[in-house]
Amino acid sequence: MLVIEQLQAAWPGLGCEERVVVTTGDRTQETGEPLPEIGGKGLFTLELEDGLRSGELDLAVHSLKDLPTEDATGVAIGAVCLREDARDCLVSREGLRVAELPDGAVLGTSSLRRAAQLHLLRPGFTLESIRGNVGTRIRKVRTGGYDATVLAAAGVRRLGLETEVAEWLPPESFLPAPGQGALAVQCREGDDRILELLHAIDDADARATTTAERTFLQELGGGCAAPVAAYAETVRGVADNASNSSSQGGASVRLRGLVARPDGGEVVRVTGEGEPEEVGARLAHEALAGGADRILADVRG
């Protein structure tokens, strides 16, 4: 596991035991229930957080995009690891790109964010729910259940499945989920020994950019299943260098955000630059004033 490798590289001789915990979200993969219909806080995290609080676990590793924006009671994010590719990517049965797929092509996605942006890119697609891990979703495309699906590039890369990708979708045209591509490591709140270990693998740029994106999501009042997208990049002056970026508080980021109706019928886009939490909150309020409040209210029903 990447996190264990990073910890042992930072702390030679550190002993680690990996334990697999099946969450409620994992169990629903088998039923194929659409995420927006069953989504809720803690769907992929509750059992892991219970293990941390009870002392059964010391660390829990998540895709940051799946974590609620508010920390669970007694639990903290001790590290945000070096961020992988934050983009989405398209896997299609015949290797066709988005622009090459025929009208009426069936695309599998359980993400309202992806559905909205697919409609914006190419009106005319038929979107159907798809569940399962990366390998399962690719197999469902290859066996003819879907013409294509959209996946997080980081998951595809970590599994070495780049050859399955028909098109990498750039943030300029297809914004990812807040926090996408980054790993988050949770631990018990106030556990100084564990927090010290995790500090060594916390990546300042990943922490800054994902903080801006997740603040945007939090201020909108949206959860990880909401039709909200955000992508931030660090901004450096001429005199800046890597040694000057060791703290999130001094970082400046450029943030792009989007809130859209799942059918693509209405979209609100915002951009701005500033300190991570400040710019995330500011752009969220700009989006709400620009109509995102109506979109999110309608989605919540």
Active site residues: 66
Sign for the pseudo-dihedral over CA of 3, 7, 10, 12: negative
